[in-house]
Amino acid sequence: MRNTSWKISENAIILNPKVSEICSLLIPTLPPMPKSKREGRVIRVTGGDVWVEVEDRLLSCVLRGRFRQRGRGVQIAAGDRVLVSTAGPDSDVGAIEEVLPRESSLSRFIEGRDSGEKLIVANIDMLFAVTTLRAPSVNYNFIDRVLVSAEWGEANACVCLNKIDLVEDRSEIERLAAIYTSCGYRTIRTSAKTGEGVDELEKMLQGGIYAFVGESGVGKSSLLMKMDQELDLKVRSLGEKSKKGRHTTAYSQLFPIRGGYMADTPGIQTFGFPGTELESISNCFPEFRDMESDCHFHRCTHSHEPDCAVKAALEQGRVHRSRYDSYLSILSEVEARIKKKAY
């Protein structure tokens, strides 16, 4: 009989406003659970797990439902500044209430079922695009794509020429460096084996968020270990705290180094251009910017149009062939993507 009366009562609350008002007076209102909202830094994102550092503590956090409901485009990555609510100051779990505005980011386009722009790291202070002339030989297209992604996310970038001890003719190193210095990028020449250039690299790590990106074999790990010999222990410690091993597939993660953070970018061997508009590609090539206003066509793609200032600069040697080839490669990729979406 008691269960039946509750069912009638619940229906009455929905159908009869007067009964609803009476019931609201009889049923006590429970006080809200006390919460404290604090700012933190996302350290690791693995699947549905988000680990946030708040005042030197690592909290396991979940996304509030409204993030999931507002749209699938909401992404959180290592480096994001967030507001976290907890049941109390000593709680080890929390909920992410808000993602604060980003100052910069690094992302790439991924093909497949969940194709789209994928965030790698947020609020990055400096991206180091690492390459080598020997073992392996330089991949201009990959380096250019990394730099273009940094430009897209308004992140500062630097080109690191590693393994210079393997190059007998130093003029080769300078010719490669000149390609990127002429575009406005700082270049560093390093050798993890001899230690050359490592001091200059260390001076650039001043407590911010950094990322080393490069193909397998270019010596990223060796350079990092040269700067911080306890780095491997720190990475393992973070894995133990979050109960995830180092080799667990992670969307993004940070580990401490020299008073700041280094973004771990394992397995990233391709960089699809994050943007979706053809005109936005040339904006990510700094050497093109001052020339585009001289093109005959306002929406010039610098590929087939006549009276193109960028192509004229290429013929004059003011634009490097490798950079222009990388531009055409990205342009072709985005054109194919647009056509695919149209169908």
CA distance from start to end of the chain: 62
Q: Is residue 85 part of a domain?
A: yes
Confidence of residue 68 (pLDDT cuts 50, 70, 90): low
Helix intervals (H) in the chain: 2-15, 17-26, 65-70, 140-152, 170-181, 198-203, 220-227, 231-241, 279-282, 309-316, 321-342
Is the domain of 147 the same as that of 208? yes
| Range from 26-40, 129-143, 221-235 that averages highest in pLDDT | 129-143
Distance of CA 183 to the CA centre of its chain: 22
Confidence of residue 209 (pLDDT cuts 50, 70, 90): very high
Q: Is residue 269 part of a domain?
A: no
* Tens-digit pLDDT profile for residues 116-157: 899 999 999 999 999 999 999 999 999 999 999 999 999 999
> Residue 46's pLDDT is what?
81
Closest CA to 264 of 222, 227, 210, 219: 210
Q: What's the average model confidence in pLDDT over 243-272?
A: 72
Q: Is the pLDDT of residue 71 over 70?
A: no
Is the domain of 94 the same as that of 156? no
Is the domain of 163 the same as that of 255? yes
Q: Is the pLDDT of residue 239 over 70?
A: no
Q: What's the average model confidence in pLDDT over 306-335?
A: 97
pTM of the model: 0.83
Is the domain of 140 the same as that of 155? yes
Confidence of residue 23 (pLDDT cuts 50, 70, 90): very low
Q: Which two tokens stand for residue 87?
A: 């049941």
> Residue 35's pLDDT is what?
60
Is the domain of 319 the same as that of 222? no
Q: Is residue 132 part of a domain?
A: yes
Q: Is the pLDDT of residue 319 over 90?
A: yes
> Residue 206's pLDDT is what?
86
Domain residues for 19?
1-30
Is the domain of 148 the same as that of 248? yes
Q: Is the pLDDT of residue 4 over 70?
A: no
Is the domain of 244 the same as that of 329? no
Is the domain of 136 the same as that of 251? yes
Overall domain count for the chain: 4
Q: Is residue 171 part of a domain?
A: yes
Q: Is residue 272 part of a domain?
A: no
Q: Is residue 104 part of a domain?
A: no
